[in-house]
Amino acid sequence: MNALIIGTAGHIDHGKSALVKALTGTDPDRLAEEQERGMTIDIGFAFLNENIAFIDVPGHERFIKNMVTGASTIDVAMLVIAADDGVMPQTREHLEILELLNVRYGIIVINKIDLVKSDWLEIVIEDVRQLINGTFLEAAPVFKTAAIRGIGIAELRQYLVELPANLPQTPTTEIFRLPVDRVFTVKGFGTVVTGTVLSGKINIGDEVEIMPTARRTRVRGIQSQNQVRDVLVRGHRAALNLAGISREEFERGMIVATPGVFRPTRLLTVFIRLLNDVPVLKYNDRVRFHLGTGEFIVKVRLIGCDCLNPGTGGVAQILFERPVTAGFFDHFIIRSYSPLNTIGGGIVVDNCPAPLRKKDVAIASEITKLLNADLIECLQWFIRRKNLRLIPLTELAQDITRSVAEILVILKPILESGVLRLVNDRVIRTDLLKTVTGKMLTILNEYHRKSPLQAGLEKSELVTRLKLPEEVSDILITDLQKTGQIKFSNEEIGLNDFTPQINKSQQAKLDAILAQIERAGLTPPPLAELAGKLSIESRELRQLLNLLIEQNKIVLIERIYPFSVLALTQAENRLIQFLQGKNGATVSELKESLGVSRKYAVPLLNYFDQKGVTMRVGDIRRLGSFD
C-alpha cells in the first residue's frame, strides 16, 4: 500500500491547522510563536496512521517560501477554503504552486461551514469550481467541514484512510533521497534530520551522503510517526539520527541520499514556464529559486531568447551563488526577487551541465523535446552530448538520478540493437566508433603512401591526429587487430596488407646500415653518430632502422643503441654461460665477461632483465626464469 504525504494549502486563517488537528489529534503548530499568534509560520507535521502523514503549511503571503518547502514533497494536496471568506489571494497562489510542482492528486475542503448560510455556501462552492477548472483538482472530491466543531471530520477521515489503496502505486527508484526540512540535536543521540522520503528506502546502518557537501555518515536510528523503525520507504516522513555529524553542518535545502548519485553544482539547465499576469522574465534577472526544501537567490540565463513573456515557457540555465544538488526532472518554483510574488516554475533537465550560450537555439529545442520523452530518449540525448568517449554507467546514473542497475535495464534495448556498446561498465556510441574507424584507416593509408619505408605510424601520433581519448583508441586498435585490418607492434600501427617498399638506393643504404651495426657487435654507435658516419638524414635513418626491426635483424635498445640480433644472441649465450653455477655477479663482473664498457653493459643488462634472461637482485644479477 502507498505511504502518502498529504499537504494542506490555502489562505491564512482558513482553518488548515485546525483541520489537521481535528483529523489527527495533533496540533501541527509546534512553535511557541505560532501558538501565541494563532498563525502558522513554518511547516508542521502530524500523522493520521502509519501510512498517512500531514504536512501543514502557512497561508500568509509572507511565509510562501515555507509553504513551498512543505508542498515540494507531498503526494496529495488538501486545498482548504473557508466558507465565510471564499477564494482568496493565497488560495490562488497556493493552487498555482501545486500545479507547478506537478502535484497530481488532491481533495477540496470547504471549512467553517457553520459560519455561513446554505445559499452563501453554494456561491462559495461555485467560485471554487471556477477556480479549479482545468487544474489537477478539477475532478477532486469536495468535503464540507467545521473543524472546530467536528462537523464532517469523520467522513473526511474515512476518505483519507481509504485513499492509499485507491491511488495508483507511486513510481520510485532505488535511489534513497530525503530533502532536509528540519535539523536538531537530541541529548544522548546527537544530530537528527527530518524530511520526506522521496524515493528508495533506508535501513539502520546504511551509509548516506549529505549533499551538496558530499559529507558521508551512517544512519544510527530511524523514527517515523514517533515510532522506532528499522527501514523506511518512499512516502514516509522520517527522522534520521546520523552518526558523527553536527547540526551546524546542515541547513534546509540539503538532501540525505544514497552515496555517489548526486553531484554538487552551481549551474542547472531547466525548462521554465511563467504564470499569466506576471512581469516579463529577462536574461540575467535575479529571482528566488525554490528547489526541494531550499530557497536560493539565482540568476536566470535564458537560452535561445532574450526574454520570456507571461504564460510562455523556455529553456534557461540557472546560476547559483553556492553549490546545490538537484535530481533529473525535479520540479521547482521561481518567485520574483522583490516584491515577493510567485511568477512561475519548471523542471530540471540537466543537473550538472556545461555552460550554454544565449544563441544555442538548437540545443534549447532539443531540451524542450525531452519534456515529453521517455527515459531511453533522455539517456540517448545525454550520451550524444558527451561526444566520443567511454561514458561510465555511474555518470549516466547521475544524469537521470537512477541506480546503475536501473540504467542497465533502460539501456538494454539500445545495447541489444547495437546502437551502443558496453565496455567494462562504460558505454560508447557505435556510430561514432564506426566513423572514427574509417578515419583511422584513411590516416594509415595516407601515411603509408607518404612513408613507404615505414612499417607503421606511432600510436601516440595516430591518437593525436584523431583527437581521441586513449581509451577509445585502444578499443579501435583492438577491434581492427581482431578483424585483421591492422598490425600493431613496437608502438607502431600499420595496415595489415602493407609491405614496406624500397628502391635500389634505399636498399643500398639499408645494407650499409646493417653492415655497420653487425661490424660494431656489442658496441654500436648511437643513432646520431651512425647517421653522420653513413651521411643519412636522421628521419630516413629512423625509417630504415624500423624496417630492419620489422625484419627482426636489429633491436633498438633504449631508443638509442641499434644492436644486431646476432650480437645479442651471442651476448645472451655468454651471460648464461658466465652466470651458471654462480649466486650472481655485479655489473663490473658482467661487463668484463661481455667485453664492453659500462656505457653498453647497463643498457644490455636492462634489456636482458626485461627478457627474463637475467634477474636483478639489489646490486647483483642472477640467471632469470627465461624459457
C-alpha to C-alpha distance for 373 and 430, rounded to whole angstroms: 22
Domain boundary residue among 238, 257, 276? 257
Separation between Cα atoms, residue 16 and residue 36, nearest integer Å: 17
- Residue 211 maps to a domain: yes
Residue 422 in any domain: the answer is no
Question: CA-CA distance, 110 to 143, in Å (whole number)?
Answer: 6
Residues 482 and 510 in one domain: no
Q: Cell match 539565482: residue?
A: 298
Residues 511 and 490 occupy one common structural domain: no
- Phi, psi dihedral angles at 422 (to 5 degrees): -100, 125
Domain housing 441? 433-495
**Same structural domain for residues 158 and 186?**
no
The helix-helix angle for 375-385 and 404-417 (nearest 10°) equals 80
Give residue for cell 546527537: 190
* Peptide bond before residue 524 is cis, with ω within 30 degrees of 0: no
The per-residue pLDDT for 507 is: 81
- The domain that holds 474 is classified in CATH as 1.10.10.10
How many of the other CB atoms lie within 10 Å of CB of 603? 16
Residues 247 and 192: their CA atoms lie apart, in Å, by 8
Distance of alpha carbon 433 from alpha carbon 389, whole angstroms: 10
d(CA 576, CA 613): 8
Q: Are residues 20 and 143 in the same domain?
A: yes
What is the rounded CA–CA span in Å between residue 383 and residue 386? 5
Q: Is residue 413 in a domain?
A: no
Asked if residue 585 is part of any domain, the answer here is yes
In a domain? residue 424: no
User: The CATH number of the domain where 104 resides is what?
Assistant: 3.40.50.300
- Residues 40, 25: Cα–Cα separation, whole Å: 17
Question: Is 526 in the same domain as 474?
Answer: no
Question: For the chain, how many structural domains are there in total?
Answer: 5
Grid cell locating 227: 515510532
* Residue 574: inside a domain: yes
pLDDT digits (tens, 9 = 90+) for 456-500: 888 888 988 988 888 888 899 999 999 999 988 778 888 988 887
Let me know whether 39 and 104 are in one domain.
yes
Q: Tell me, yes or no, whether 246 and 277 share the same domain.
A: no
Q: Which of 152, 176, 371, 319 is nearest to 261 (CA)?
A: 176
- CATH number, domain containing residue 342: 2.40.30.10
Q: Which of 209, 230, 257 is the last residue of a domain?
A: 257
Phi, psi torsion values for 529, nearest 5 degrees? -70, -40
Cis peptide bond upstream of 469, omega within 30: no
Three-state DSSP at 335 gives strand
Quick one: cell of 79? 486545498
What pLDDT shows up at residue 374? 92
- Of 369, 385, 400, the residue at which a domain comes to its end is 369
Are residue 145 and residue 248 in the same domain, yes or no? no
In-domain check, residue 380: no
For residue 162, the Cα-to-chain-centroid distance in whole angstroms is: 39
Q: Is the same domain home to 39 and 134?
A: yes
> What are the φ and ψ backbone dihedral angles of 94, each rounded to 5 degrees?
-65, -40
C-beta of residue 40 within 8 angstroms of C-beta of residue 94: no
Is residue 351 in some structural domain?
yes
- pLDDT for 61 equals 54
> Are 443 and 524 in the same domain?
no
Residues counted in the chain: 627
Below-70 pLDDT ranges, the chain: 1, 28-42, 58-67, 70, 625-627
One domain for residues 112 and 236: no
Residues 274 and 143 in one domain: no
